[in-house]
Every structure is written in structure tokens, then in C-alpha cells.
Structure 1
Amino acid sequence: MKYILSPIISVILAVTILLIVRRQKSINYAPESEISLHLAWKRISYSELEEATNAFGESNILGSGSFGSVYEGILSDGLNVAVKVFNLQLEQVRAIKSFATESQVLSTIRHRNLIRIIGCCSNTEFKALILEYMPNGSLEKWLYSHNYFLDMLKRLNIAIDVASALEYLHHGHTFHIVHCDLKPSNVLLDEDMVAHVSDFGIAKLFDEGESTAQTKTLATIGYMAPEYGTEGIVSTSGDVYSYGVMLLEMYTRKKPTDEMFGEEMSLKSWVSHSLDENRITEVVDTNLLGREDENFSAKEKCVSSILVVAMECLNDYPAERISMREVVARIEKIKVVFLAR
């Protein structure tokens, strides 16, 4: 009997080992982009997205970038959404990695000032994330379109919203998340003008204890911290620097890449000089601060305080920049003082 059982047991063991090896290989070599399919999101078919966006028509485009395009759509249940379609034709590896990174980050976080993912659609030829729709568009649109205007209080609220989002990313978990590409076009506004940080395609997640990493990921020129641009060093301090640039932009209505800036002068040095000379009215958005304003003095003090916070975010040395926790506390205090005028 033992001579019969021995071969049978050997066959069973061989089959078991083969199955384990195959399963291990499938785990090890599963493409990173497929990880998102196991998340508890709503699975939406390509045909439904095609119908929701009028076949991804030009009239539905909300914006485009190197990653692909974002379309407005209405799902079959009536929900208004933004469909972020990744361009797999150009730089396919980069596009798939961006999809995987954004999926991973958005599945990990939840905060009122971060864009929320509703679902996904993914196959070998098409990858898209379905996000909550932001009817008031981007902060960039509100800063530079002639038909839109942000008053002092709205700018303060948006500054606090974005700072709160970054505070959560940097300090709200046992691990840190670095956005890596903060700029006005990645800040979206809902129907109540509440700001939501979006576009996590090149974000970095750090395990507990990690604080920096080196990467070849490209951020946007003008917003990246010096150590990022020269050495590829990524840290939460890099986001603080980008936030400082955005804060200057919000109150001067000047892009860091404006043609007036070059090797001799930057947005940072231009504002810094105005603060040193106590002449901030020369750099602040004229629509926001004019000497004929009834509350000119209170507005001037408010803007001056904001610009000081921005400059503390823009220290050339990462270790000497203030944290987003401190930024939130400082700007909330500035808002209280302004409202008490």
C-alpha cells in the first residue's frame, strides 16, 4: 500500500508547488496599474464613459496636459463627474505609472480639501479615473481670466484650504505623502468655492521614518524647490516651497515664469524686495489692493502678513522652511485679524 501512496503523494506535492510558484509569479509580475482594480471603487465601463462624455467630445474637455485629458461627464445615474483619461499612446510606461500612483494615493487619503475619486475604468488599452466634478474650475482660471475675481476673503479661504490639504498629506498619517506638483491649475474649486488639491500623478509616498527621496520625476518649472530641480530630492519641504510660490502668485497675479522674470530677478526676489522697502502695493494684484479702497490699511496689513508667510515657505534651505501645520495656524490667525477690522 505504501508503494502506491508514495507516488500519489509526490504528484500532489509537485502540483501544489507548481501552483504556488505560478501564483507567486503572477503576484510579482502583475503590472502596477492593475493594483487599482482591487480597490473598492465603482467600476465603470468604457461604453458608459463614452456615452457620459459625448464620445469624449471636444465640447466636454475641461483641461489637457502631458498625462492626457479631463472630460466633464454625466453618468447613467445622473452624477456629474470629471473623467481623467490617461494618454497611453505617448510615453506609455510613464502614463501607466502615473495612473497607478494617482490610484494608490487617492485610495489612501480622504480629506475635504482633496479631490475624491469615485471610480475607475482600466484595461490594456484604456485607463481613466472618475473624479468628483468641480464646477468652478481651477484657481488658475480665477486668477487669470478677466471674467473672474477673487476678493481678499476668498483668497484667504483658498490659501487655508490648500494649506490644510498639505498639512493632512504631510502629517495626517503614519506615512507622509508629497504631492510634488502643487500649482494653481491643480487646485480646483467646488460650487461653494472650497478648494480641492488634485493631480497626484507624480506624488510620492514615504514609509514611516522616511523623509526624503531622490527621483527623476519632473515637476513644473517655477514651482519646484531648488533641491528638487538640482538634485531631484523630494520631501514635504518641497511641497512647502511650491505652496510659497503659489501664495505669492495668488496675491501678485504673476506667474513665476512671467516674462518679466529671468536670471536677474524672480517672483520671490521681486516680492522680497518690495517687503524690504515696504512697498507691497507695487507688487500686489491691483484688482485686490488699491489706495482708494475703503479698508486699504486693513487689506495692506493682511497681504503683507501673507507675503511674509510665503517668504518663510521659500527659504533656500529645506530644514529652515516652516511646516504646513504652522502655515495653517498662521494664515487662520491672519484671517481672524482681517475679519475683526
Structure 2
Amino acid sequence: MERLSYLKSINVSFNDLEGEIPSGGVFVNYSLQSFLGNKGLCGVHIVEVPACTNPGQQSKSKERKEISKMWKSSGSVYQGTLSGGSVVAIKVLDLQSEEVCKRFDTECEVMRNVRHKNLVPVITTCSSDYIRAFPLQYMSNGNLENWLYREDCQLNLLQRITVMLDVAMATEYLHHENDTPIVHCDLKPTNVLLDEYMVAHVGDFGISKILAVSKSIAHTETLGTLGYIAPEYGLEGIVSTSGDVYSYGIMLMEVFTKRRPTDEEICNENLDLMKWITQSFSGTMLEVVDAYLIPEEEQITSKSEICIASMVELALDCTLEIPESRITMKDVVKRLNKIKNSFLES
């Protein structure tokens, strides 16, 4: 990261990092405030940080290895500031994994050819012997999963409809508005990021597939996330746009019920999220949707109930077992727009 000449500030606090703090580039003239919560760090150019036992003796490869142990996935995301004052997110990949490097190449190939208001904008890419990174537009409201499960974050019914419409439009663009269809392969709440205006953006194309013009399906050995994977994807490695539709439908159920597809209570009853909702659909949907969907100060209206039922019905149409029976993302966008407009009518 010393080599990123346009990066003017960085803060890696509370990442539990260890090793020697670099002494060049963006790390010059920085104070302890940029490195709080990293007890294993050492260095010589920051007064408050202890000196390393053997400064300068570790090889770069060993330093990277030690840092990578602290990462929970294929890499880490940092917040930085460019010379013009713009805040960016910097996604840095773990170079120790050959699979991660392949994902970097895939993501570069996908992002090179797509532009849509509901996709996470990639500012540029950084690739060398020492780093694979994406400076991305910073999304100040984090990801959708935080808004579903953190107690200090709540989304009302209209906000959830709007967010899922944003995701649907992004996915429709990938499937239907490119010369070759692009399958995301890992649609889930953590890959949906929200900007300062609560507009949703789909990101993380590391395992995406670009389908050949003459083919509507492909095969892969790289799986997405348990619970969101379509049956044909998980069993046979078949990748198609219908697989994304299935994942979208699961996420739609999760957004309205605040239940993960791997929810322990549901799994203990030998059910999955679809079966659990289907059993409840014959009764009142208000018993299974998230209690915060409609704030206490607002009354539940018939319009709200119709809207919720329509959204759940849409989710079930997305998650039919046979891929050919599922609706397309074009159909999803049309139906969501109709549901949202009906809900907003006075």
C-alpha cells in the first residue's frame, strides 16, 4: 500500500493486525490514531508504537503471511482518502491464495465492461507482485446484513422494497443488458452495499461467470454461499441466470422475515426458509415477517398486508426448484415496480 501514490490518508484501527508498520508512502508522518486496536504492530517512525524486535529483518513475503492470518476471508477492506479529499474503500486481496488471485482476474474482467447505478463503482485496480487491490466508491451505510441484524439499524417496509428493487435492477442489467449475460453467483445481503442516500449497490464479482453468447449455462467448481445456492448449482455445478434468481428470492425472504436461510430454529425443524414461509403463507404473514417492518407508531393497513403478501409470493416464484420454472429478473423488476407503486398510492 506504500506504492499507492494517490492515497493520502489511511486508518486501519481495530483490525487486530500484527507486524511492522511500513515507513514509506501513505504511512509517513502518521500518528497512533490511525493504528489503534492493533496490539501486535511495531515500528520506528511513530513515537507511541513500540519498536520491532528485529526491525527490517522480516522478508516482505513473511510479513504478508503474518498479516494474512488475521484476515477472515479472501482479504480485507480499508477506508482511505484520495488527494482530492474523496473517501474510498480499498479492497485488498490475500495473495497467498491462488484461488483469490483468479477471483481478482474475474472481477477485473467483469467490472471492465459493466456500468450501472446499482453496481458498486470500481475506481481503478492495483496489481503488482506485492498487491491486488480495488479502490471502490465508499458506501457510508455499510451492507444490507448490518441493517437487518444490528439492533441500532432498522428498515421499514418501503425501504426494504426500495433496496430490493435496486438489487433487482442491478441483476437485470447483468443478465439482460450486456452482449454476454453475467451471472453474479453470490447474491446475498453482505454483497449489497448502501450509500449515503440508502441506494443499494451490488458488489463482489469474484466468482461471477460471463456466459458465452451461444450458451445459457456454464459449469463451475466454485460454490457461492450456503443457503443462497440454487439446487442445480450446489449439486451439479450448473451456473445460469436462473441461479441468481433463486439467490435473489432467498434474499428477498430474508429481508422480510429477518431470518437467515441457515437459521438454527428453522433447520432444527427440518425445514428450509422456503418451506417455513410456505407453511406460514396459508395463515397470516404478519406472524412470520420482521416485527420492525412496520414501526409501532404506524398502524398495519390492508395495503401493507397486500404488499407483504405480494413480496413473499414473488420470492416463492423466484425459488421454484426447477430452474426453467423460475421467473426472470426482468419479470422481478416489473412486479416490484408495480408493488411499490401500489403501496405508494394514496
Q: Which residue, 83, 90, 108 being the options, matches 2:113?
A: 108
Q: Secondary structure at the match of 1:159?
A: helix
In structure 2, do the counterparts of structure 1 residues 53 and 274 end up closer, same or farther at CA, with 3 Å as the change threshold?
same
Match of 1:267 in 2: 273
Match of 1:53 in 2: 10
- Tell whether the 8 Å contact from 1:45 to 1:121 is kept in structure 2 after alignment: no
In structure 2, do the counterparts of structure 1 residues 174 and 50 end up closer, same or farther at CA, with 3 Å as the change threshold?
closer
In structure 2, do the counterparts of structure 1 residues 47 and 331 end up closer, same or farther at CA, with 3 Å as the change threshold?
closer
In structure 2, do the counterparts of structure 1 residues 74 and 279 end up closer, same or farther at CA, with 3 Å as the change threshold?
same
- Tell whether the 8 Å contact from 2:261 to 2:272 is kept in structure 1 after alignment: yes
Match of 2:179 in 1: 174
Deviation at 1:288, TM superposition (A): 1.2
Deviation at 1:126, TM superposition (A): 1.1
> Match for 2:257: what amino acid?
T
Match of 1:337 in 2: 342
- Alignment pair present for 1:152 and 2:157: yes
Deviation at 1:290, TM superposition (A): 7.4
After superposition, give the CA deviation of every residue in 1:28-74 in whole Å (9 maximum; x if it has no partner).
xxxxxxxxxxxxxxxx973447753236873799xx65220111111
- Tell whether the 8 Å contact from 2:147 to 2:153 is kept in structure 1 after alignment: yes
Q: Which residue, 224, 231, 236 being the options, matches 2:229?
A: 224
- Alignment pair present for 1:85 and 2:42: no
> Match for 2:291: what amino acid?
T
Gaps of 5+ in 2: 16-33, 38-70
- Alignment pair present for 1:71 and 2:71: no
Match of 1:208 in 2: 213
> Match for 1:94: what amino acid?
E
- Tell whether the 8 Å contact from 2:228 to 2:261 is kept in structure 1 after alignment: yes
- Tell whether the 8 Å contact from 2:7 to 2:81 is kept in structure 1 after alignment: no
Stretches (4+) displaced over 6 A: none
- Alignment pair present for 1:300 and 2:305: yes
> Match for 1:83: what amino acid?
I
Deviation at 1:274, TM superposition (A): 1.2
- Tell whether the 8 Å contact from 1:223 to 1:242 is kept in structure 2 after alignment: yes
- Provide the C-alpha distance between the structure 2 equivalents of 1:272 and 1:266, rounded to a whole number of angstroms: 10
In structure 2, do the counterparts of structure 1 residues 49 and 261 end up closer, same or farther at CA, with 3 Å as the change threshold?
farther
Match of 2:123 in 1: 118
Q: Indicate the percent of aligned positions where both proteins have the same amino acid.
A: 47
- Please give the root-mean-square deviation of Cα atoms over the aligned residues, in Å: 2.2
Number of equivalenced pairs: 294
> Match for 2:265: what amino acid?
M
- Tell whether the 8 Å contact from 2:188 to 2:228 is kept in structure 1 after alignment: yes
In structure 2, do the counterparts of structure 1 residues 157 and 290 end up closer, same or farther at CA, with 3 Å as the change threshold?
closer
| TM-score, normalisation: structure 1 | 0.82
- Provide the C-alpha distance between the structure 2 equivalents of 1:339 and 1:122, rounded to a whole number of angstroms: 47
Deviation at 1:140, TM superposition (A): 0.4
Q: Which residue, 261, 267, 271 being the options, matches 1:256?
A: 261
- Provide the C-alpha distance between the structure 1 equivalents of 2:279 and 2:316, rounded to a whole number of angstroms: 11
| TM-score, normalisation: structure 2 | 0.80
After superposition, give the CA deviation of every residue in 1:261-285 in whole Å (9 maximum; x if it has no partner).
227211111111111x232111100
Deviation at 1:240, TM superposition (A): 0.1
After superposition, give the CA deviation of every residue in 1:86-139 in whole Å (9 maximum; x if it has no partner).
0112xx210110111111111110000001110122111211011111000000
